[in-house]
Amino acid sequence: MSDSPAAKSGINETAAAERQSLRSFLAELERERQLLRITEPVDPVFEISSYLAELAYGQAALFESVRGHRLRAVGNVLNSMERIARGLAVERASLQAKIVRAVRSPLARRLVEGAPCQEVMVVDPDLETELPVPHFFPGESGRYITAGAIVAKDTKTGGRNLSFARLKLRGGSRALIGIAPSHHLAVMARAAKARGEKLDIAVTIGNHPCVLIAAALYLNLGDDELEVAGAIFGEPIEVVACRSVELEVPAQCEIVLEGTLDPDEEEAEGKVSEFHGMYEDYGSGAIVHFHRLTRRADALYQVIQPGYYPEHTLIGGVSIAAALFRRLADAAVPVREVAVGHGGCGRLHAVVSLAQSSAGEPKKAMLTAFNSVNLVKMVTVVDADIDPWDRNDVEWAISTRMKAERDLVVVPGSRADRSEPLSGSGMTAKLGIDATRKAGDRRDWTRALPPEDIARRVRARLADRKDSR
């Protein structure tokens, strides 16, 4: 393994347009020793997955040599809240506010002629040969593309979609796509079928963090996530027209697969790993035929480790939390911040911090959250002095401010998502925990802490010592 400078790697891009590329962020990580280069050859069958699992909470990993393949691979790029905030060029404390502002004020994309992602073109690609797609876990029956941000458009309404869906290689240019029935991509595919059409899609691999986070957002059907990505980035996302389908993709991505989703052609998927860390069997999935593969000449193949690993859970969790914040704010709940962290699989548990709490507000927050996202089955409500992303802080609030006989709310018979690990019926009970301060519980809620002015001075000194190492 090596920590050689980025300039030796082909990822140290400095052109203005490259600011919107994944490699610009990787170069930044490498400068700060947050990118580990793995120079010895690795096997895409289980070995890449094993590296990413061992490094799940650490450095991003760049695989310089994948057996049987020309392209390099990279993973664990956004595996912490701090890394995600850095990718979006914002302080951790302002991350959610920046995403919410971007959703409310998107920026139109900018069409360009020609792009790095089209330097090489392959017609009717053999995906197993062209791409170093990993086989992640022994319980799965094949190799999965996991970091593909998929572009689609409704030909009638013009509504666009950018979203994630897993793609299982099925030989040659074919792949099975795993989409929940409520997924906007599935809605678009059904609408196309009703018109006698098949849905064209473009799978973009190796995207800037702003594009990846935008692809996971919960927006309205037809809203353009790429426009939100531009608002997060602070300038319009440059897009280029595909070669074989009438779609536009991020010009600075690494790889593009252009194809057609055929909802009438299905195959059994078998077991697949889920965000909760176990396997699920969702039955059959539709088949996609890819007509073209375009890529950079020195393309990087990006991997998101699936299952219960932080990059997978947090990309979803950050996006779900932003959606819950918007829904709560629209319902006039005095929300300060929402967290959906790794511990709750980035899907199932939410913590809502209220700017101020009065009688009835915590319960309103719980019920609004449950009604907004089916996946969420537990909501903890805390006061503004609690960091909702800090598990210790949240547990302390539960320990010191919650009375079980008064502050637990159980909502039985609630609709569950199909990926809920404990529901075979599509229904589950949901739990709300009110961990806010109540008048009459204590006369004095003052926390025993050093004076804040002195604490700030000490933090600054410690930061200086760390920076000088």
Give the model confidence (pLDDT) of 123-139 as tens digits: 999 999 999 999 999 99
The residue written with tokens 């609709």 in the block is 415
Mean pLDDT of the chain: 93
Q: Are 136 and 305 in contact (CB under 8 A)?
A: yes
Q: Alpha-carbon distance 108 to 112, whole Å?
A: 13
Identify the residue with better confidence: 451 or 14. Answer: 451
For the chain, what percent of residues have pLDDT higher than 90?
Answer: 88
Q: Alpha-carbon distance 56 to 306, whole Å?
A: 11
Q: What are phi and psi of 162, to 5 degrees?
A: -130, 120
Q: With cut-offs at 50, 70 and 90, classify the pLDDT of residue 4.
A: very low
The pLDDT assigned to 125 comes to 97
For the chain, what percent of residues have pLDDT higher than 70?
Answer: 96
Q: Alpha-carbon distance 301 to 304, whole Å?
A: 10
Q: Alpha-carbon distance 86 to 232, whole Å?
A: 12
- How many distinct helices (H) and strands (E) make up the chain? 13, 23
Q: Are 44 and 51 in contact (CB under 8 A)?
A: no
Q: Say whether 197 sits in a helix, a strand or coil.
A: coil
Q: Alpha-carbon distance 265 to 380, whole Å?
A: 43
Q: Which residues of 158-197 are buried (b: 16+ CB within 10 A; e: fewer)?
A: ebbbbbbbbbbbbeebbbbbbbeeebbbbbbbebbbeeee
Q: Return the number of other C-beta atoms located less than 10 Å from residue 92's C-beta.
A: 14
The CA–CA distances, whole Å, from 193 to 265, 266, 287 equal 12, 14, 14
Q: With cut-offs at 50, 70 and 90, classify the pLDDT of residue 7.
A: very low
411-425 mean pLDDT: 83
Q: Alpha-carbon distance 327 to 112, whole Å?
A: 35
State the burial class of residue 7 (Cβ atoms within 10 Å of its Cβ: 0-12, 13-18, 19+): exposed
Q: Which residues of 363-397 are buried (b: 16+ CB within 10 A; e: fewer)?
A: ebbbbbbbebbbbbbbbbbbbeebbbbeeeebeeb
User: Any idea how long the chain is?
Assistant: 469
Q: Alpha-carbon distance 237 to 275, whole Å?
A: 29
For 227-284, how does the pLDDT look when each residue is reduced to its tens digit (9 = 90+)?
999 999 999 999 999 999 999 999 999 999 999 999 899 999 999 999 999 999 999 9
Q: Are 408 and 431 in contact (CB under 8 A)?
A: yes
For 206-233, how does the pLDDT look when each residue is reduced to its tens digit (9 = 90+)?
999 999 999 999 999 989 999 999 999 9
The pLDDT assigned to 10 comes to 56
Q: Are 288 and 308 in contact (CB under 8 A)?
A: no
Q: Alpha-carbon distance 364 to 381, whole Å?
A: 10
The pLDDT assigned to 421 comes to 86
Listing DSSP states for 114-161 in one string gives: S-GGGSEEEES--HHHHS---B--TTSSS-EE-S-EEEEE-TTT--EE
The pLDDT assigned to 8 comes to 44
Question: 432 in the Ramachandran plot: left (φ > 0), alpha (ψ -120 to 50) or beta?
Answer: beta
Looking at beta carbons, which pairs linking 355-361 to residues 24 or more positions away fall under 8 Å? 355/384, 356/384, 357/381, 357/383, 357/436, 357/437, 361/333, 361/334
Closest to 118 measured CA to CA, from 244, 232, 227: 244
- Across the chain, which distance is largest between two alpha carbons, in Å? 73
For 374-394, how does the pLDDT look when each residue is reduced to its tens digit (9 = 90+)?
899 999 999 999 999 999 999
The CA–CA distances, whole Å, from 153 to 96, 102, 260, 402 equal 27, 21, 12, 48
CA angle 390, 396, 398 (to 5 degrees): 105
Q: Are 208 and 312 in contact (CB under 8 A)?
A: no
For 426-454, how does the pLDDT look when each residue is reduced to its tens digit (9 = 90+)?
889 999 999 999 989 999 999 999 999 99
Q: Are 257 and 228 in contact (CB under 8 A)?
A: no
Question: 440 in the Ramachandran plot: left (φ > 0), alpha (ψ -120 to 50) or beta?
Answer: left
The pLDDT assigned to 5 comes to 36
- Please, which residues have CB within 8 angstroms of residue 412's CB and are 6 or more apart in sequence? 429
